[in-house]
Amino acid sequence: MNRSLKIFLILSVVLNCLLIGFLIGNQLFSHQASQNRLSERFERLPLGATQKKMIQQKMHQLRKEHRPLIKEMHKRRQETFDKLSADDFDPEHLRQHLTEMTQLKTKMHESFAQGLIDILQDLSPEDRQKMMHHLKKHPGFNPPRPPKHKRE
């Protein structure tokens, strides 16, 4: 085989691998894939179709309400990185900025907790028990953390 044909074959294989990687990555990490996983999670809830739909709608609304807070947190996080890498580093200003970020996180967590309370409030006691039992068995998208070891 001549040299140009070898180079062409190698480039072809490399480009095909890149294309396959992009396709797999797009499927795994796309917003649609996360929405599909979330929909599957709602389908596994041991509730009736109307309760599942109600929970799904309220969670969707809750996410919409949190979107500005999440964007603000991302913005503040970037500002924190900028402050840490700045030449004129001011520890007091950074401390104040981190306190504001903590307050923003607390605000978001309180809002999410209230939304969760509103969702659970609309369910019957039996449905709440079913849902809590299900959530204990399937804690979420993240695997459970290993237990912490006691220091002696």
d(CA 117, CA 47): 17
R_g over Cα of the chain: 24
| pLDDT tens digits for range 71-129 | 888 888 888 778 777 777 777 887 888 888 888 888 888 888 888 888 888 888 888 88
| pLDDT tens digits for range 37-86 | 556 666 667 777 787 788 778 878 888 888 888 888 888 888 877 877 77
pTM equals: 0.53
Pick 6 or 89 by higher pLDDT: 6
Helix (H) or strand (E) holding 67, with range, is helix 49-85
Give the mean pLDDT of 11-37: 70
pLDDT of 112 = 81
Length of the chain as a residue count:
152
Identify residue 87 by its one-letter amino acid code.
D
pLDDT of 75 = 87
